[in-house]
Structure 1
Amino acid sequence: MTRRIVRTVCQVAAFAFFSLVVVYFIDNRYRVLPSALHNAFPAHHPGLVVTDITIASCSSLNVFSSCKLDADQWHRVEKDLYLGSGWVNSAYVHIKRKKEEEVLSDDQVIIDITVGRLDPAQGVKGEANEKWESRPNGLWLKRVAKRHAKTSNQMVTSVDVLFGADAVDPREGWQMVGTPLLLDNSGEGQEARLSIRRGKKALHSRPIPRVNENGRFKIMQAADLHLSTGTGLCRDEMPPTPKGEKCEADPRTLEFVGRLLDEEKPDLVILSGDQINGDTAPDAQTAIFKYAELFIKRKIPFATIFGNHDDEGKSSLTRAGQMSLIESLPYSLSVAGPEEIDGVGNYYVEVLARGSSKHSALTLYLLDTHSYSPDEHNFKGYDWIKKNQIEWFKSTAQGLKKEHSGYTGIHMDLAFIHIPLPEYRDDKLPFKGQWREGVTAPAFNTGFRDALVDEGVVMVSCGHDHANEYCALSSHEDGKPALWMCYAGGAGFGGYGGYGGYHRRIRFFEMDMNEARITTYKRIEYGDMEKRIDEQIIVDAGKPSRLQEE
C-alpha cells in the first residue's frame, strides 16, 4: 500500500510539473496568458478520454445556482453558452475525463453525442448496452463500457463549443454535433453547438509553398472579411437587398471567397487583417474556423496578419490567443513572430523555387500594424509600425540576402500590412484603380516605406480602407520606380462599403518567375464577375515598372 501511495504521488507530481512546463512554453513562445489560454484552445488533452458531459446553468436572480461544478471531477469549457448576452442566465459545458491508460474495461466512455428533445433511441432497435442518457439542455450521450467500444478511435476524446447556424470545424478528426443546444435564448444567430473529436489529436506538418513547374505562382490577397459569430448582417451591400429580405454577411462573403478560390486556384492566400469583426464576434474561434475551412478543405496554404478590428470588443480574444489558434490549423503558415518586438504576427514566408530546389524564389514579409494611436493627443487616428519592427525587418532581410544568392533566377521580396503607410496619402503619385475615400494612415511616420525600398522590396499591399483599391507608384529621388503601394479593397459584407456603390473585391498577384514579373488584378463579387479589373504589370525583370498607359 505504501509503495502504491508513493507511486501515485510521484505520478501526480510529474504530471503537474509537465503541465507547468507546457503552460510556460505556451506563455513565452506565443504570449498567451493563462486567462487567455482557456479561450485560445478548446479541451485538447492528448491521451484523455471523455467519460461524461453535463451543462451547469446559473442565474443572477438565484443566489443558490452555480455555473461551477467540483473542479476535481469536472473540467469546464470556458465559453458561456449565452455568449454573455443572457440578461440573467449563463451556462457552461463541463466534461469528465480520464487518462486512456487509466480507463478500466468496465468504465463508461462516450461514443456518441446528439441534441434533441426526444430520446434518440425511440423507435430504433439497439443493443441494451448502448442506451442514450439524458443531460440538460437537450444533450444526449451514448455511453458504453470501454470493453464494448469497437476501437479506441470510437471514443470521444475532446469536446468544444462553437456558435451560430453557420459554424464549422475544419480540424481533422473533429465533427459538429448537428443540432444546437436547447437554451432559452431568442434567435438563432449565435446558437451554441458542440463539436467533438474521436481518437487522438491529428498531427500536421507546415506546408512549404513552391513555385509551380511552369515558373508561376499566384497569391490571393483577401482583405477585411469582417466575419462575425453567427451569420452577421450586411452593410452597404451591392446590389441592395430587396425590402423584406435579409442579407447575411458571412455566408455571402464566404461564398465569394470560395468561388474565387475555385476559379483562380491560388497557390497561397494572404489574409491582410480584419478577418473578424471583434464587436460582433464574441467567439473569435468560430469566426476564424469559418474562413480557415475554405482553405483547409481545398488544401491551400494561408497566412494571416491582424487589423484593428480582429481583437476589438470587450469579450474578444487577444491577438496572441487568436494567433495561437491559427498556428495550430492545417495549411496555416501564420506565426506569432519574435516575442521581443512589438505586435503579434511579424514574420516572413519563403516561397521555394520550382522542382526540388531548396532556394527561395520569393520572400513575403508580414507585419503587424497594430490598432489605434497610443498617443491620441499628438497623433490622432491609427497606430504605426514601431522602430523595433523596422529593425527586425531590416536585419532579417539583410540576413536572408546571402541565402537568396543561391537562387539562379531573380529573387523578389513583397510585403503585406493592414493599415496603409503615410505615403499612401500622396495624391500626386501615379496610380491605377479607384481612390474613393480618405487614406486613414497613421499620423506619425516611422519611415517603414524607406526601409522597404532600402531592402529591395518591390511591392507592399494593405487593406483597412475598404473602398480604396488602387496601386500607386512611389519613386526614388531620381524619378525611377521604387515601390508599388497597393490596396486590396474590402472583400467582406460585414464591413462598410458605400462610396458610390462599391462592389466587394479581392486582389491577386500573379508571379511569372521566368521573367521576374508580377501582374496584379482584382475580381469583384457582383457585376462583371468573370473580368479581371485593372490588370497591370507592376514588376518586370525584378524591378518596379512604370505605370502602364491605357
Structure 2
Amino acid sequence: MAKKLVRTAGHRLKRHTISILTVFRQRRAAVQLAVCVLLAACIILFLDNRYRVLPNAIHNHLPAPHAHGYVTTDIKIITCNKLNVFNKCALEGPNWHRINKDLYLDSSYTSTAYLYVERKKEDDLQPHEQVIADIRIGRLQPSTIDAKGSKDSRWESRPFGLWLMITTKHPSADELVTGVDVLFGADAADPRSNWQVQDLGLFIDSKAPEPRITFRRGRPLQLEKPIPRIRKDGKFKILQVSDMHLSTGLGVCRDVPSTDIGAAHCDADPRTLDFVERMIEDEKPDFVVLTGDQVNGDTSPDAQSAIYKYSALFARHRLPHAAIFGNHDDEGSLTREQTMALIDGLPFSLSTAGPSDVDGVGNYHVEILGRGTTTHSALTLYMLDSHSYSKDEKKYPGYDYIHPNQVSWFINTSNGLKRKHREYTHIHMDLAFIHIPLPEYRNPHKLPVVGNWTENPTAPVYNSGFLDALISQNVLVVSCGHDHVNDYCVPGVPTQASAQASEHVTSDPSHPAIWMCYGGGVGFGGYGRSAYYHRRLRVLEMDMNEARITSWTRLECCGEEVTSKRWDETILVDGGQVVVY
C-alpha cells in the first residue's frame, strides 16, 4: 500500500514538474518571439530610416509635417551617406517629422538628404518658445527689414541655402508657418490654399530636378466642393484634356515636328500647360474632364509635383474638374489610391475614388445641375477606371478592360438615378469617359468616322460588353484618350443580343445608338508618332434647350490661324437622339 502511495505521489510530482516545464517553455518561447519581433521591428525601422523600405501606404498614415492645429518650430536638413549603414539618418524627439522625399530624388549613388520639420500644437507653446514666421532660399542672409526690425526675430541659416525667420513672439497662427512640403522642378506650383512655392530651389548638387520648399502660413482654408451647373443660356461646355504626360520638372518634348514654332528648344510641361491655358481662355469651358495619363510615370519620381502643376492651372481659373487614370499615372512615385487621395482634396476637384468593392480606383459619376437654383440634374458624367495592362497576357495580350463588376456598378447606378433624372424639365443626357478605348473603336461595321484615324486603336482584346451597357442606359457619347494621334469620332451599335433586350435601339448599323470619340493627345511629354501630328484636345458643348451635343477639336499648331480654328465640328446628338450621317 505504501509503495502504491509513493508511486502515485511520484507520478503526480512528475506530471506537475512536466506541467511547470511546459509553462516555462511556453513563456520562454513567447519571450523569445517578442524579442525577435522587437529586433525585427528595430531592423526594419532602421533600414526604413536609411532606405525607406516600408510601403508608401504606411508612410501616408504617419503624422504629416503640416497637420492642422500645429505651428512649425524648426526645420533641419539631414544628409546621409548611403555607403555607411551605421550613419543615423534621423532626428530624435517626438516633434520631429520627416518629409519622405529624398532631396536628390534617388539620383545620387552615395547620398540622401531629407527635410525634417519640428512642429508643436499652438496651444502647447511655452512663452518665448521659438517659432518660424518665414522661409527664404538664398546664398546671402535675407534683409533684416524682413524681420520687421524686431529684437524678437532673427534669420537662421540651414544647409543648401535655406533661411528661417525665427521669432519668439507668438502672433496669431495666420502669421506663422504652419505647414512645410517639398516639390521639385523649376516649374513647381502649389494649388493648395495659403501655400507658396519658393522662387529658388535649394542649392543642392543633383542630377534630378531641383527641390523647392513650399510652405503654408496660417490655417488652411476650407474649400467647399464646387457644384457645376448649366449656364443661364442653357449651355454647358466641357474641355476634354487627355494624355498630358507631365513630369517632375520641365519634361522633355517628344516627336515635335521640326517646322513647329519653338521646336528647337521645347520644354514639354510648360508648353503643354500653355496650350491648355490658351484653350481655357479661348473656349471658356464650364468643366474640365481629364481622361488619363496626366502623369508620365517614367519621368515622375515625385508625382505630386506633376499633379500640382495642372491643378494649379485649374485653380487659377477656378475651373471644376474631374479625372480618371490612364496606364501611366501610377508608374511614378504614387499608387492609384494615393493619387486619388491627393487630388480628391485639391481645389475645384470633383475626383473621388468611388466604391471600394468595385474594381479600379475612380469609378464615380458627376451630376451637372440645371440652370438657376434647381437641384435637378441636367447632365450626368460617368467616369470609369479602364485600368492599365492585361492581367492575363497569354490569353488577352495588351491592355485591360472594363471589369464585369464595373459594368454592374454602372448599370445599377444609372438605374438608381433614372427617377430623379425624369424630374428635370428638359431632356436629361448622359456621357461617359474612359482612358483606354473599347474594342468597338476598331469600327467593325466600317461606319464613316469624323476626324483623324492615324493609328490602330489599342483597345483590349477581351470585350466585356461595356458598350452594350452604355447603350442600354442611353449614354449618348463616350470619349477616351490613350491613342494620342487619334481624334476621331465613330458611331457605335449594340450587339444583336443587346438590341433584342432593349426597346429603343437596334443592331442595324445604319441606326447607331452612341458616338465613340477620342480626345487626342495634348501632352508634349507623350509620343506624337507622326512627324506631322500636332497636339490637340476635344471640346464638347451641350445645349440643353435643344438637347444637342456639338463637338470639335482644337490644335496647338502653326500660328494663330490654325490654333484659333475649330476642327471637325460636328453635331453628335440633337433632340436627345444620336445624329446619323
TM value normalised by structure 1: 0.90
Name the structure 1 match of 2:30.
none
RCO greater where, 1 or 2, for CA within 8 Å and sep 6 or more?
Answer: 1
Name the structure 1 match of 2:369.
352
1:504-543 Cα offsets, whole Å, 9 max, x none, are 0010001000000000000000130111000000001111
Other structure's SS at 1:309 match: coil
Other structure's SS at 2:513 match: strand
Q: Matches of residues 35-434 of structure 1 in structure 2 within 5 Å? A: 35=58, 37=60, 43-121=65-143, 126-147=149-170, 149=171, 151-186=172-207, 190-240=209-259, 245-313=264-332, 316-426=333-443, 428-434=446-452
The one-letter code matched in structure 2 to 1:480 is H
- CA separation in 1, counterparts of 2:385 and 2:323? 10
Pair 1:69–1:378, CA change in 2 (3 A): same
Cα RMSD (Å): 1.9
1:234-274 Cα offsets, whole Å, 9 max, x none, are 00113456999431000000000000001100000000000
Q: Flag the structure with larger Rg.
A: 2
Pair 1:254–1:500, CA change in 2 (3 A): same
- Contact map agreement 2:153 2:168 (CA 8 A) in 1: no
Name the structure 1 match of 2:473.
455
- Contact map agreement 2:74 2:119 (CA 8 A) in 1: yes
- CA separation in 1, counterparts of 2:257 and 2:289? 25
Task: Tell me by how many angstroms 1:200 deviates.
Answer: 1.0
The one-letter code matched in structure 2 to 1:462 is C
Other structure's SS at 2:400 match: coil
- Contact map agreement 1:180 1:191 (CA 8 A) in 2: yes
- CA separation in 1, counterparts of 2:523 and 2:93? 42
The one-letter code matched in structure 1 to 2:150 is E
Other structure's SS at 2:471 match: helix
Pair 1:241–1:543, CA change in 2 (3 A): closer
- CA separation in 2, counterparts of 1:42 and 1:220? 35
- Contact map agreement 1:382 1:442 (CA 8 A) in 2: yes
1:46-91 Cα offsets, whole Å, 9 max, x none, are 1001000000110123344333222524110111111111111111
Task: Tell me by how many angstroms 1:136 deviates.
Answer: 1.6
- CA separation in 1, counterparts of 2:455 and 2:138? 50
Pair 1:88–1:435, CA change in 2 (3 A): same
Q: Does 1:477 align with 2:507?
A: yes
- CA separation in 2, counterparts of 1:209 and 1:539? 21
Task: Tell me by how many angstroms 1:129 deviates.
Answer: 2.5
Task: Tell me by how many angstroms 1:182 deviates.
Answer: 1.6
Of residues 362-371 and 117-126 in structure 1, the stretch that sits farther from structure 2 once superposed is 117-126
Name the structure 2 match of 1:436.
454
Pairing partner for 2:569 from 535, 543, 547:
535
- CA separation in 2, counterparts of 1:122 and 1:516? 63
Question: Segments of 4+ in structure 1 off by > 4 A?
Answer: 122-125, 239-244
- Contact map agreement 2:271 2:524 (CA 8 A) in 1: yes
Name the structure 2 match of 1:12.
none
- CA separation in 2, counterparts of 1:472 and 1:46? 50
Question: Where does structure 1 lack aligned partners over 5 or more consecutive residues?
Answer: 1-31
Task: Tell me by how many angstroms 1:498 deviates.
Answer: 2.4
Other structure's SS at 1:326 match: helix
1:288-330 Cα offsets, whole Å, 9 max, x none, are 11001111111110000000001114xx200110111101011
- Contact map agreement 2:71 2:173 (CA 8 A) in 1: no
Question: Where does structure 2 lack aligned partners over 5 or more consecutive residues?
Answer: 1-54, 494-505
- CA separation in 1, counterparts of 2:220 and 2:548? 42
The one-letter code matched in structure 2 to 1:447 is G
Of residues 53-62 and 277-286 in structure 1, the stretch that sits farther from structure 2 once superposed is 53-62
1:337-379 Cα offsets, whole Å, 9 max, x none, are 0000100000000000111111001000000000000000111
Q: Matches of residues 6-21 of structure 1 in structure 2 within 5 Å? A: none
Of residues 237-246 and 113-122 in structure 1, the stretch that sits farther from structure 2 once superposed is 237-246
- CA separation in 2, counterparts of 1:288 and 1:281? 10
Name the structure 2 match of 1:522.
553
The one-letter code matched in structure 2 to 1:156 is V
Task: Tell me by how many angstroms 1:222 deviates.
Answer: 0.4
Identity of aligned residues (%): 54
- CA separation in 2, counterparts of 1:240 and 1:64? 56
Pair 1:454–1:71, CA change in 2 (3 A): farther
Of residues 258-267 and 65-74 in structure 1, the stretch that sits farther from structure 2 once superposed is 65-74
